[in-house]
Amino acid sequence: MADARDACGVFGIYQPGNEVAQLTYLGLYALQHRGQESAGIACSEGVTTTVVKDMGLVTQVFDERRLAPLDGHLAIGHVRYSTTGSSNWRNAQPVYRPVGDAGFAIAHNGNLTNTAQLSDELGQLPGIFDPNDATLDSTTDSELIGELLAREYDDALRSDGRDLEQALLKVLPRLEGAFSLVLMDEAHVFGVRDPHGIRPLVLGRVDGGWVLASESAALDIVGAHFLREVEPGELIAIDASGLRSIRYAEPTPKLCVFEFVYIARPDTNLYGQSVHSARQRMGEELARQAPVDADMVMPVPESGVPAAQGFALESGIPYGDGFVKNRYVGRTFINPDQKTRGNNVRIKLNPLPSNIRGKRLVVVEDSIVRGTTTRQIIAMLRASGATEVHFRVSSPPYRWPCFYGLDTGKRSDLLAADMSVGEISDYLGVDSLAYLDLDRLLTATGAPSEAFCTACFSGDYPVAVPDVDTKFVLESDAEIDLRIG
């Protein structure tokens, strides 16, 4: 699947006695797949907080020179994807909010669903949704959280000393939607997950310190070991006295099932399950659900690889490669419009005619969102001499837009929104098409079915969302983006 833009990635570290900017850089590098448009790090040595952020990949934003001013033993970082119209520096994170002689930085993965209500509560807030107004740092709902915290933090500052924790405990219950947050001031690092835990966040231990990261794979790269997931509805505070866990809301776990399908790295664990193994099991389930006579099972690289391996294993059909992927093209789409995405397919994938010619192929993909890429992939296979193309998708039809931090575009952009599987099969030009049933997908995760958000497949949104029509309105206004992950 290559036509949905990913959620964001967050990272936090508190490690006394160590300069942590380099480790934060490495952590963000491991989370690059979650967002390729901007990257940023906030770092403190206990007195001042320095923020460096810019548009681009982690390796484009940071080099020795730009890491050099990031002194200190506590830091947070962020990688981000955004939609057209909000691709600007001011939307890059972490967002820093000065408050009196103090301040804090915040990095957010997810999307709030009650931004309108919150901004009403805040009253006149010049510029919060105005990208041309420099009074606020950016136009995202992350900025809204920053504003809510800044107001409470100011009060806390006056009454309790510099206490971002108190501000968080006042603000978090007012937020609705998806939010995995990392925050810091000059003395503390915080990690927060929304009561549904829609986006992942894990806690690790590193030589005398603590690490927070969107995915466990980011712990590995910094030499940290996994302790546990941050619980839904949990606030974790880390400072010189150690780690405190505060439950600010009752948990009702609804992890995004699409993290298992596509978003998360295969070497990440979610709900204690290996994502790679789960994807293989999805392929095995798919082979049992929709068997077909064929000569070769091949993936759409790279996201379809584990499911294709599982399909081959279960079906007994030999596994082979039909495409070579350019290793240096990630999930990056510099100009995310339909026309450009089309051109990008050939840049990323080139067919191997010697492996394809004269064969009946089972082509396995993890998901189809818009379908533009998939259609071109199939046309390339046919042009390379495939005699039959049987397309197998290791998740159900993606019919409903995500309001919780994955940018899949508006409903009318979703291929399956109003088309039957038969119509999609005709549109793609395949000999047969099958999608994995939702119950089989949930079984393949190895985790309890009720612990997932499945809204994009089922329409069953675990947190009330604005009317889908509202999403159309927001989508049509390129300057207003309330949905950045």
Task: Answer yes or no whether residue 198 interacts with ligand SF4 by CB under 6 A.
Answer: yes
Q: Using CB under 6 A, which of 183, 406, 436, 482 touches ligand SF4? A: 406
In angstroms and rounded to an integer, the radius of gyration of the C-alpha atoms of the chain is 22
Report how far Cα 3 is from the mean position of its chain's Cα atoms: 14
Task: Answer yes or no whether residue 257 interacts with ligand SF4 by CB under 6 A.
Answer: yes
- The residue among 102 and 402 lying less far from ligand SF4, judged by its C-beta, is 402
Please provide the distance, in angstroms rounded to a whole number, between the alpha carbons at the two ends of the chain: 18
Structure token digits, residue 196: 């549904």
Minimum CB separation of residue 324 from ligand SF4 in Å reads: 29
CB hemisphere CA count around 362 (13 angstroms):
32
H or E element at residue 421: helix 421-428
- The residue among 199 and 375 lying less far from ligand SF4, judged by its C-beta, is 199
397/395 Cα distance (integer angstroms): 7
Under 8 Å CB-to-CB from 103, ≥6 apart: which residues?
Answer: 49, 96, 97, 185
Are 106 and 149 in contact by the 8 Å Cβ rule? The answer is yes
Q: Using CB under 6 A, which of 92, 256, 297, 362 touches ligand SF4? A: 256
Task: Answer yes or no whether residue 368 interacts with ligand SF4 by CB under 6 A.
Answer: no
Of 202-210, 266-274, 369-377, 449-457, which segment contacts ligand SF4 by CB under 6 A? 449-457
Amino acid at the residue 397: P
Task: Answer yes or no whether residue 454 interacts with ligand SF4 by CB under 6 A.
Answer: yes
- The residue among 323 and 333 lying less far from ligand SF4, judged by its C-beta, is 333
Of 133-141, 242-250, 251-259, 342-350, which segment contacts ligand SF4 by CB under 6 A? 251-259
Structure token digits, residue 372: 């533009």
- The residue among 43 and 455 lying less far from ligand SF4, judged by its C-beta, is 455
Q: Using CB under 6 A, which of 299, 404, 407, 415 touches ligand SF4? A: 404
Q: Strands, E, within 230-331: which ranges?
A: 234-239, 242-247, 255-256, 269-270, 273-274, 296-299, 323-325
Q: Site map for ligand SF4, 211-250, x if CB under 6 A?
A: ----------------------------------------
Minimum CB separation of residue 454 from ligand SF4 in Å reads: 6
Minimum CB separation of residue 193 from ligand SF4 in Å reads: 13
Q: Using CB under 6 A, which of 1, 203, 211, 402 touches ligand SF4? A: 402
3-state secondary structure of 144: helix
Helices (H), 367-420: 372-383
231/271 Cα distance (integer angstroms): 11
- The residue among 110 and 310 lying less far from ligand SF4, judged by its C-beta, is 110
Minimum CB separation of residue 402 from ligand SF4 in Å reads: 3
Return phi, psi of residue 279, to 5°.
Answer: -70, -35
- The residue among 264 and 300 lying less far from ligand SF4, judged by its C-beta, is 264
Query: Under the rule (CB under 6 A), what is the footprint of ligand SF4?
Result: 198, 256-258, 402, 404, 406, 453-456
